[in-house]
Amino acid sequence: MRVVIDTNVLVSGIINPHGSPGRVVDLIVSQAITVVFDDRILSEYRDVLLRPVFAFQPGDVNALLDFIGFSGEHVTAGPVDLILPDSTDLPFLEVAIAGSVDALVTGNLRHYKPVRGRPAVSILSPAEFLRLI
């Protein structure tokens, strides 16, 4: 199964490995799912996961991101004719559409309810995604 993972799922999954986001991270690490990404997404993962507020070890963050980069699928995404409430989430949707993924997994479903347009991809919470697979 090929998915785009919103940054909040990685953060939540690392903080609480026993919840639904943690189980999604387990699926990534076990290669049961393939993370689809572009350079913008990897950059956001790195920027957010290395924020001092989370106190994640840089070596652990780098190892996870190297693993995603190696085992995942890099795509080149173009713009889509959608407007989201938070424009910083648009790269995730663009990659999901360009990569024809099975789902975009996010802890912030409301961020992906377009102000204009309709996304051509399933947008699921971690719990919904786990029920699907």
Q: What would the pLDDT profile of 72-94 be if each residue is shown by its tens digit?
A: 999 999 999 888 888 899 999 99
Burial of 22 (0-12, 13-18, 19+ CB in 10 A): middle
- The pLDDT tens digits of the residues spanning 6-64 come to 999 999 999 999 999 999 999 999 999 999 999 999 999 999 999 999 999 999 999 99
- The reported pTM is 0.95
Q: For residue 54, which phi and psi values (nearest 5 degrees)?
A: -85, -25
Run of H or E including 104: strand 103-105
Q: How confident is the model at residue 83, as a pLDDT?
A: 86
Is the per-residue pLDDT at 132 higher than 80?
Answer: yes
Q: How confident is the model at residue 115, as a pLDDT?
A: 76
Where helices occur in the chain by DSSP H, the ranges are 7-15, 20-29, 39-49, 58-71, 90-98, 126-132
Is the per-residue pLDDT at 116 higher than 80?
Answer: no
What's 2-132's CATH class? alpha beta
104, 121 in Cβ contact below 8 A?
A: yes
Q: Hey, what amino acid is at 47? A: D
Rounded to whole angstroms, the Cα distance separating 62 from 7 reads 15
Residue with the larger pLDDT of the pair 116 and 5: 5
Q: What would you report as the CA-atom Rg of the chain, rounded to the nearest whole angstrom? A: 14
- Two tokens, residue 44: 């956001």
